[in-house]
Amino acid sequence: MLDFLISPAFAQQAPAAPNALMQFAPLVVLVIVFYFMLIRPQMKRNKEHRQMLSNIAKGDEVVTGGGLAGKVVGIGEAYVTLEVADNVNVKIQKQAVTSVLPKGTLKAL
Domain that holds residue 29: 18-55
Would residue 69 count as lying in a domain? yes
- 65 is a domain residue: yes
Q: Would you state the pLDDT for residue 23?
A: 84
Count structural domains, the chain: 2
CA distance 70 to 63: 7
Domain match, 64 and 108 both: yes
> What pLDDT shows up at residue 22?
82
CB 89 within 8 A of CB 73: yes
Same domain, residue pair 109 and 71: yes
- The per-residue pLDDT for 36 is 94
* Half-sphere exposure in the Cβ direction for 23 (13 Å, CA): 4
34 with 68, same domain: the answer is no
Ranges in the chain, pLDDT < 70? 1-14, 17
Residue 10 lies in a domain: no
